[in-house]
Amino acid sequence: MVREWDPRTASSAEIASLLDTLNAVLAADLPQDPPWRANSLREYLSEVMPGERRISWVAQDDPAPDGTPGAIVGHVHVLLLGGIGVLEVLTHPARRRTGIGRELVRVAARRVWDEGFQSIGVEVVGDTPAVGFYEALGFTRDYVETRSVLDLGAVDWPALTEMATEVGAGYHVEFCPGGPPDELIEAYARAKAEVREVDDVELRPSSYDPDRLRDSLATLHRRGMKPYIVLALHEQTGEVAGLTEVVVPAQHPTRADQYDTIVVREHRGYGIDRAIKARMLLELRSAEPEVAEVQTWNAQVNESMLKVNAELGYRPDRDWCEYGVDVGELVHRLDSHR
């Protein structure tokens, strides 16, 4: 049975059942990824940025004869933001190819259509069944990134300590656990806005104005995701010349996520990218001793960043693709398949 589901009011047993399914999916499709934990999972599934909405459905087995609720064997949520609905679907590996995924996408797409949205986007992990699934549903590939993973156990720490200091004269590198200090929010937002055109990735929008940035940091904290930031400040102007962001999620605290790394154009060529990333890893090692790996996503065209990541020890892991579809066409295709 597929039904709309609100993670804010769901029972703890349902949250636990969804976690079991999510971990079965990871074990089948991304066996190197750490399993997720229950920590802040409800908040992760519920909290959104102001102005955004997330709507969820589950596929649940029938209750047992004694009334015990059935397991959650599939889940979909759609995040409505800007003009797009961003979809995430999963089906327990033991229950795949029985039409659950298609039915979940059908109900979600119908709602997105009813809400007046025209397009749906989804992140699809390369070399997993999701590729065939979304292509069968008529989604097309818009963009491919590479996910890379850094094993902190294999890092050459003395070399990294050296790299962290190799920044041009006139720059000051600063570590900001929790987020940028309030007095730097405006300069921080300016640095992010500058590279918007070049590096923007539609499904993971960044925040470019100070208020949106504050909201975004508050949302991260509410979702149980702890941000760490390293800044390179241009001493002469006080401007943020470079920044790098890492988030440690309560749901998988052994593997941190590298978010944006930005070096403002006029400050490129001074070693800032390498130095701030190296400093971040050094700080993480003492602030979050549980972190064993860091994962990052890069456009395949971003050669200079890929080069720095390789020097730090990142190893390419998977293609990470964005697919999209016109909602009207999707609704029509799924309705006529029934």
Ligand X SMILES: CC(C)(COP(=O)(O)OP(=O)(O)OC[C@H]1O[C@@H](n2cnc3c(N)ncnc32)[C@H](O)[C@@H]1OP(=O)(O)O)[C@@H](O)C(=O)NCCC(=O)NCCS
Instruction: Name the site residues for ligand X (rule: CB under 6 A).
Output: 25-26, 29-30, 89-91, 96-102, 125, 128-130, 132-133, 136
Q: CB atoms < 10 A from the CB of 299, how many?
A: 15
Residue 279 CA to residue 244 CA, distance in Å, equals 10
Least separation in angstroms between residue 134's CB and ligand X is 7
- Would strands 84-91 and 119-125 be described as parallel, antiparallel, or unpaired? parallel
Residue 249 CA to residue 221 CA, distance in Å, equals 9
Least separation in angstroms between residue 259's CB and ligand X is 19
Residue 37 CA to residue 182 CA, distance in Å, equals 32
- CA dist 287 → 18, 165, 246, 283 (Å): 30, 19, 12, 6
Least separation in angstroms between residue 249's CB and ligand X is 14
Residue 240 CA to residue 234 CA, distance in Å, equals 6
Residue 290 CA to residue 297 CA, distance in Å, equals 21
Q: Closest CB to ligand X among 129 and 210? A: 129
Chain centroid, CA 43 distance in Å? 15
Least separation in angstroms between residue 97's CB and ligand X is 4
Least separation in angstroms between residue 290's CB and ligand X is 22
Least separation in angstroms between residue 64's CB and ligand X is 22
Q: Closest CB to ligand X among 89 and 213? A: 89
> Scanning the structure block, which residue is given the tokens 């390369």?
126
Q: Closest CB to ligand X among 33 and 273? A: 33
DSSP 230: E
Instruction: List, in order, residues 6 or more apart from 134 with CB less than 8 Å away.
Output: 122, 124, 323, 325
Least separation in angstroms between residue 315's CB and ligand X is 18
Least separation in angstroms between residue 318's CB and ligand X is 9
295: amino acid identity, one letter:
Q
Least separation in angstroms between residue 337's CB and ligand X is 9
Phi, psi of 179, deg, nearest 5? 135, 170
Q: Closest CB to ligand X among 87 and 167? A: 87
Distance linking the first and last C-alpha atoms of the chain: 15
Q: Closest CB to ligand X among 96 and 222? A: 96
Q: Closest CB to ligand X among 104 and 243? A: 104
- For helices 303-312 and 272-287, give the axis angle rounded to 10 degrees: 40
Residue 207 CA to residue 245 CA, distance in Å, equals 12
Q: Closest CB to ligand X among 46 and 128? A: 128
Q: Closest CB to ligand X among 281 and 321? A: 321
Q: Closest CB to ligand X among 73 and 233? A: 73
The b-or-e profile of 100-114 (16+ CB within 10 A means b, else e) is: bbbbbbbbbbebbbe
